[in-house]
Amino acid sequence: MLDYINLKYKPKKTDLVCEFYVEANGVSFEESAENIAGESSIGTWTDLSTMNEKIAHQLKPKVFYLNEKENIIKVAYPEELFEPGNMPQILSSIAGNIYGMKILKNLRLEDITFTKKLLESFPGPEFGIAGIRKLLKEKDRPLIGTIVKPKVGLNEKQHADIAYEAWVGGLDIVKDDENLSSMSFNNFYERIRQTLKARDMAEVKTGHKKIYMPNVTSETMEMLKRARFVKANGGEYVMIDILTAGYASLQTLRNANLGLVIHAHRAGHAALTRNHQHGISMLAIAKIARLIGVDQLHIGTAVGKMDGAAIEVEAIKNEIEAKFVHEKKKQHILEQKWGNIKPVFAVCSGGLHPGMTAELVKIMGKNIIAQYGGGCHGHPDGTRAGATSIQQAVEAVMKKKSLPEYAKTHEELAKALELWGCL
């Protein structure tokens, strides 16, 4: 068997580096590390007569870090092992067969450091944070939005009417939810027509730019058909469930260069991320999604209904030590300097209500898109008042006033705080 462990090795700039959490099963920690490196590259379960010195010299990865106390290993892979611009192939290597090995009790891909060559083989976001802020003409404050609720069950007109109420109430953004596509009771194409018409009406009434994010998640060819329909009807955004659709599907949408902002929903991520001993971290998923080219990405709220402590969400938004392309700076994961790859807007969604706004901004900063579903439509006076209460909560934060203080002169916020409280 090849010896993959070399603790004296220092990764080169041409190495893709992975950090894994590892729990061995019936073998030593070192043997588990050897097998992870081998199975994810040029090795297998036994010695090979077909292996030669040239292959081993050029393509053998190195396990250069072992920490059995914390169950962490780091592996440096020569970039020649990976096809540029092919994310499925990259992940089939570093997050593929290795999960099925009997000698592992648990395995989690914690982080990935791509090389400059691999980085440059992907387009990254077309718009990014600066492009989105330019589109909405909002330079500084958090962007605010809602998800039409109930997430399924409404017909096309009801959906459009609710969207209109949210926009007129003061929100920037309205989006479909992850499981709304084209249903017997709500046809995709008719929903787009009616909701974009409502958007236009809301812009005329308010004098402000409004955004609709329709969910185009589907079989790849149908997805592209839907995205092109959105574009043809004056839409500027599409949303895709990046994990259930798959990374190849996401690459297809981005590489179509339709001139549409891509909003990435992470539906299904917890199947990979929730178990902190096994799977793939949200940090790794976030890096992959940015590289492929999403403009916005759900990362959690730290204060809402979904699993995930504040420290986990902050790890994506504000990693302590940047590792991409071997940089060593304190920067946001989604906003690090990655050559020509633009920064990605962090989206916070899941159980938010106006009373959480100050704490959310305190944790996450102003460069976020905050989406309130039930926290908008559950307002005692309805969707429009709910939207207004959210706008007022953001105004209070930007003016450095407490929410209870601001609520004294803002009725909609007062009723929201009375119903849901204030963190």
Last residue of one domain, picked from the residues 119, 147, 163: 119
Distances (CA, A) of 225 to 23, 177, 179, 189, 258: 45, 19, 18, 10, 11
Q: Is the dihedral of CA 197, 200, 204, 209 positive or negative?
A: positive
Last residue of one domain, picked from the residues 97, 119, 141: 119
* The residue count for the chain: 423
Task: Please tell me whether residues 211 and 280 are part of one structural domain.
Answer: yes
CA atoms of 266 and 317, how far apart (whole Å): 15
Q: Residues 6 or more apart from 206 whose CB is under 8 A from it?
A: 167, 168, 170
Asked which of 118-122, 197-201, 286-290, 305-309 is least confident by mean pLDDT, the reply is: 305-309
The alpha carbon of 272 is separated from its chain's Cα centroid by a whole number of angstroms, namely 13
Task: Please tell me whether residues 22 and 170 are part of one structural domain.
Answer: no
- What does the radius of gyration of the chain's CA atoms come to, in whole angstroms? 23
Residue 204 parent element (H or E): helix 188-206
As a whole number, mean pLDDT of residues 30-35 equals 95
Q: Which of 116, 117, 149, 225 is catalytic?
A: 149
Task: Please tell me whether residues 106 and 185 are part of one structural domain.
Answer: no
Last residue of one domain, picked from the residues 65, 84, 119: 119
Task: Please tell me whether residues 312 and 390 are part of one structural domain.
Answer: yes
Q: pLDDT band for 360, please (50, 70, 90 cuts).
A: very high
pTM: 0.92
Q: Which of 62, 159, 263, 265 is catalytic?
A: 265
Is 353 a domain residue?
A: yes
Is 408 a domain residue?
A: yes
Q: pLDDT band for 322, please (50, 70, 90 cuts).
A: very low
408 is catalytic: no
Q: pLDDT band for 48, please (50, 70, 90 cuts).
A: low
As a whole number, mean pLDDT of residues 129-150 equals 96
CATH of the domain at 142: 3.20.20.110
- Give me the domain span that covers residue 192: 128-420
Q: How many domains does the chain have?
A: 2
Asked which of 144-148, 271-275, 332-336 is least confident by mean pLDDT, the reply is: 332-336
pLDDT at residue 215 tops 90: yes
Q: Which amino acid is at 366?
A: K
Q: pLDDT band for 364, please (50, 70, 90 cuts).
A: confident
Is 3 a domain residue?
A: no
Task: Please tell me whether residues 156 and 295 are part of one structural domain.
Answer: yes
Task: Please tell me whether residues 223 and 82 are part of one structural domain.
Answer: no
Is 100 a domain residue?
A: yes
Task: Please tell me whether residues 111 and 202 are part of one structural domain.
Answer: no
Task: Please tell me whether residues 359 and 385 are part of one structural domain.
Answer: yes
Taking only the tens place, the pLDDT of each residue in 157-169 is 999 999 999 999 9
Residue 89 parent element (H or E): helix 87-94
57 is catalytic: no
Helix (H, G, I), strand (E, B) or coil at 355: helix
Task: Please tell me whether residues 164 and 287 are part of one structural domain.
Answer: yes
